[in-house]
Structure 1
Amino acid sequence: MQIQPNRRQFLRTAGQGFLAAAAIGNGLCPTWADSKESAGGGLIYHTEVPPNAEPPIEELVKTWITPEKFFYVRSHAASPQIDADQFRLKIEGMVNHPGEISLKELMDKYPSKTVIASMTCAGNRRNEHSAVRAVDGVQWQSQAIGNASWTGIPLSEVLKAVGVQPDAKHVWFEGLDEIKKKGKTIGFGGSIPLSKAMDDTEAMPGALLTHKMNGLPLTPDHGYPLRTVVPGYIGARSVKWLGKIVVSNRTMPNHYVQDAYKLVEENTPTAWAEAGPLYRYPMNCGIARIASRSTDTQELMEVTGYALPPGNGRTLKRVEVSVNGGRSWQVAKFEREPDPYVWSLWKLEIPVRSIRGIVYARAVDSAGEAMPERVDWNMKGYMFNSWYRKAYNLRSL
């Protein structure tokens, strides 16, 4: 059928976690060493089935647009095999015209829009949580992030066509993957507030039904043939292998909305029940490379990295770098003017003051808010965005 038109203080004993965090920032985490690099693929796999992988950070920041080859992969099950010719997207729930639509019909009926937006896993930098107290899950370093060009149909256009009912408040996304969980087989799911789905600007849709990444059809690992992309929200809300959209007056009952992807500090039934789903990602940054070069007059240390603005629509104002533990900061230079929902690559040259030590970096947004020096530990290791630390030894460069 065709569709009609308190956190508790993390690192309170900072000295305990400092050396571990510095080692992680310097690429010395043992879980990283245990991972495998795919043959010619460019990614380092934490798990192969399901595929969970991130690129080496030096490769990640070579280009502003992340090639698919170096874009992180986060999956909870093997990528499903889907015949695009037989594929049908179902739309149900609190709509006036429920039904289903083929990929071709979807693309023929609605004009596609191409936008550039960054995506990041809620667990990015999880191994820095684990350095203080062990956290289950993929032990991401700081490369579960990427910036891509996405082509698809604004979700708002489809919802307007099917006629959303007045009491609707949420939009559910159901994936076609098959995840084994507690003796059952479920699909991955995510939901977003209806207000977010309809919050389009000229530059950026609230959400996009995406069929291309960097100008090419999605690969299986990235959700072929159709996925959602929700700018500003954690990657878990950009559901891959999208098979069904449900409009509802409540959040989705799927495990990955109700039980996972929550910020919980105490493992009690009350804490889990009271915590709401995670939506917007936090401002963050990473140091990719520290190198040295000599001029006629001095030795310089070049520091490069990325910075992600907060998912609330603010832009980045600056990235600051410190080589003295945060007592003073120097401002890095962006490669290009910052935009909302899009990362920035940055660089700074600093006169060498010591042969070895720790470099710190933090981002500041357009409202003047800065990344915190410390964040609180939580049960799932989500949303880690304290000052980034990276150890260096110029004699070894």
Structure 2
Amino acid sequence: MLLLRRCHRLTRLGPLNTQRHQAAPAVASCAVRLRSGGSSEDQRSYQHAHGPSWRQALAGVLAGTGAVLAYGLHHHKAEQVDTIEKASALRIFTQEEVTGHRSLEDGVWVTYKGAVYDITEFVAMHPGGDKILLAAGGDLEPFWALYAVHKQEHVLEILAEYKIGELRAEDLKKQQSVKSSDPYSSDPERHPALRINSLKPFNAEPPPEILTDSYITPSAIFFKRNHLPVPQVDPDSYRLHVEGLPGGALTLSLKELKTRFPKHTVTATLQCAGNRRSEMNKVKQVKGLNWGIAAISNATWSGARLRDVLLAAGYGPDVAKRACHVQFEGLDKDVTGTTYGASIPLNKAVSEEGDVLLAYEMNGEDLPADHGYPVRVVVPGTVGARNVKWLGKIIVSAEESSSHWQQNDYKGFSPATDWDTVDFKSAPAIQELPIQSAITVPADGTAVDRSSEEVTVKGYAWSGGGREVVRVDVSLDGGKTWQVAQLRSSDKDQAPEASPPPGRAWAWKLWEITAPLPAEAQELEIVCKAVDNSYNMQPDTVAPIWNLRGVLSNAWHRVKVKIREDESEE
């Protein structure tokens, strides 16, 4: 902490000098000890990114400032510089003076709401490294607007420690007149029932008790997973570009996509890699949004087959000799222009049985804005992160996507791996997801009346890779004894859907069981576990599958329910 105080005071010394150079290695060492992440799923993994270039890896970094500031509050606050010392150092700066400090050599200055801050020494502590230099010499607000965590009171308090003066009134007025608007201001309205995990970017899940009311999840309550602001796309000027290896290229308007290719419809479940992360947090804190059990939903998707579009672009059957992956780039982007991206294996993309769609409809209507309007990729059986929304570009390639979300996120690791030892290059990107099930009714902590004499348990089950769920076992006594639930693949008032072809069971199964209340029990520990047609089964506990990103959480789901005695009998 003495070191932090020393660094902080050196910041006040003005232009770079020998003393500041000498302090830099120590500051970097201090930064290693303070390294931590924020509350965003993307920003927490970004600090250990090993992407091929800083610009390609940039998309997850913009939340990092607030993350480190929040972590260091209780350390740094104790070493605040005396108020009199700070006041004597303050002065008025012009924007030209601020702009002149855009590097570690010249010092890194930024402005925020008319104040000027010298954050040179903070750069070493930033989880995204020197990417914070993108804001150097200018206003922080356009960068901070992407993640609301920055504007919390404790973050602002620590930023104040780096204040060196005020921006000249004339320059502040000019800055305000050209200030970027909130990039999230044009986001669509959302259903009030959604349980919000993050406002900016918007991430939310439906209440579990209504999730399984419908086999097809209504679009309004389908879980929302956004990494960046929702882009505004004009359907008339929209163009989808297909490119990559020599020998193929194609540009399609929305109308051409709809009219040149047969329309196909697939019922498919999408699940976030972080679904049920909250259960891993109970074992040991992980980094990412605290998803419950409802970051999963089921819908009907309609559009052109990706296979058909690739063939039209000139990528015939021999493409497999030269390519291994199909990359996707979205139209959602951060303030630097970096877009969301991901890729899938070529064999999934071109397979007739893969059912990969360039979807423009969801549940019989145009895609909602939150779900990729006007076109998104739907990759059945594959983790939600590869189902890129607001699709702008398709690239046939010998390589995986270089996107941060493909290379440095959405990967699973051993419980022994921590943020100091993780090597993202050592693990494959998640594609197919493992067998999964969860209880939606009754909710954990609720009670049932003894007089009812029975309890009804409901939930969902799904497996990745087109593997069909064939059984769900339910226990009322913590796993000592089991009963088999009834499965259904449609709403109760509809005829069951025909069994899918082998390897193409893309949609979940809803399940239900009504069982007698045990005579002597005062509390039930209800447990569910699913089995697919490859006889994959869920692990019984979370601890052996815990990982630092909290992904692939699929242990037996457990809820505890009290049995309420009939008051008339007391």
CA drift at 1:88? 0.4
Give 1:314's aligned residue: 467
Contact 1:95 1:247 in 2 (8 A): no
Query: Which of the numbers 289, 294, 301 marks the counterpart of 2:441?
Result: 289
Contact 2:450 2:565 in 1 (8 A): no
SS at match of 1:176: strand
CA drift at 1:135? 1.3
TM-score (normalizing by structure 1): 0.84
Name the CA shift for 1:247/1:315 in 2 (closer, same or farther; >3 Å): same
Give 2:306's aligned residue: 155
Q: Which runs of 5+ in 1 are unaligned?
A: 1-37
Q: 5 Å matches for 1:132-211?
A: 132-164=283-315, 165=319, 166-179=321-334, 184-201=336-353, 205-211=354-360
Q: Which runs of 5+ in 2 are unaligned?
A: 1-188, 490-495
Give 1:261's aligned residue: 410
What are the superposed Cα offsets for residues 172-214 of structure 1, whole Å, 9 maximum, x if unpaired?
000010135xxx441111100000112223xxx4311000000
Name the CA shift for 1:51/1:270 in 2 (closer, same or farther; >3 Å): closer
CA drift at 1:335? 2.6
What are the superposed Cα offsets for residues 99-147 of structure 1, whole Å, 9 maximum, x if unpaired?
3111111111101101101010000001111111111211100000000
Opposite residue 57 of structure 1, the aligned amino acid is P
Give 1:225's aligned residue: 374
Contact 1:358 1:389 in 2 (8 A): yes
Alignment of 1:349 with 2:498, yes or no, is: no
Opposite residue 562 of structure 2, the aligned amino acid is N
**Greater RCO (Cα-Cα under 8 Å, separation 6 or more):** 1
Name which of structure 1's ranges 230-239 and 265-274 shifts more when overlaid on structure 2. 265-274
Counterparts of 2:340 and 2:295 in 1: how far apart (Å)?
Answer: 19
Opposite residue 472 of structure 2, the aligned amino acid is V
Q: 5 Å matches for 1:324-363?
A: 324-336=477-489, 339=500, 340-353=505-518, 354-363=521-530
Alignment of 1:271 with 2:423, yes or no, is: yes
Give 1:369's aligned residue: 536
Name which of structure 1's ranges 97-106 and 275-284 shifts more when overlaid on structure 2. 97-106
What are the superposed Cα offsets for residues 157-176 of structure 1, whole Å, 9 maximum, x if unpaired?
11111122331110000001
Opposite residue 190 of structure 1, the aligned amino acid is A
Opposite residue 558 of structure 2, the aligned amino acid is R
Give 1:31's aligned residue: none
Name which of structure 1's ranges 161-170 and 135-144 shifts more when overlaid on structure 2. 161-170
Of all paired residues, the percent bearing the same amino acid is 39
Give 1:394's aligned residue: 563
Name the CA shift for 1:128/1:114 in 2 (closer, same or farther; >3 Å): same
SS at match of 1:89: strand
Contact 1:95 1:162 in 2 (8 A): no
Give 2:241's aligned residue: 90
SS at match of 1:129: helix
SS at match of 1:394: strand
Q: What value does the CA root-mean-square deviation take over the aligned residues?
A: 2.0
Opposite residue 385 of structure 1, the aligned amino acid is N
Q: 5 Å matches for 1:73-112?
A: 73-112=224-263
What are the superposed Cα offsets for residues 1-22 of structure 1, whole Å, 9 maximum, x if unpaired?
xxxxxxxxxxxxxxxxxxxxxx
Counterparts of 2:386 and 2:302 in 1: how far apart (Å)?
Answer: 17
Opposite residue 385 of structure 2, the aligned amino acid is A
Name the CA shift for 1:373/1:307 in 2 (closer, same or farther; >3 Å): same
Counterparts of 2:470 and 2:396 in 1: how far apart (Å)?
Answer: 37
SS at match of 1:123: coil
Counterparts of 1:192 and 1:97 in 2: how far apart (Å)?
Answer: 18
Counterparts of 2:436 and 2:287 in 1: how far apart (Å)?
Answer: 22
Opposite residue 76 of structure 1, the aligned amino acid is H
Give 1:67's aligned residue: 218
Name which of structure 1's ranges 338-347 and 215-224 shifts more when overlaid on structure 2. 338-347
Contact 1:307 1:345 in 2 (8 A): yes
Opposite residue 555 of structure 2, the aligned amino acid is S
Give 1:15's aligned residue: none
Give the strand-richer structure, 1 or 2: 1
CA drift at 1:366? 1.5
Name which of structure 1's ranges 384-393 and 88-97 shifts more when overlaid on structure 2. 88-97
Opposite residue 559 of structure 2, the aligned amino acid is K
Structure with the greater alpha carbon radius of gyration? 2
Counterparts of 1:146 and 1:176 in 2: how far apart (Å)?
Answer: 23
Contact 2:448 2:564 in 1 (8 A): no
Contact 1:59 1:70 in 2 (8 A): no
CA drift at 1:294? 7.5
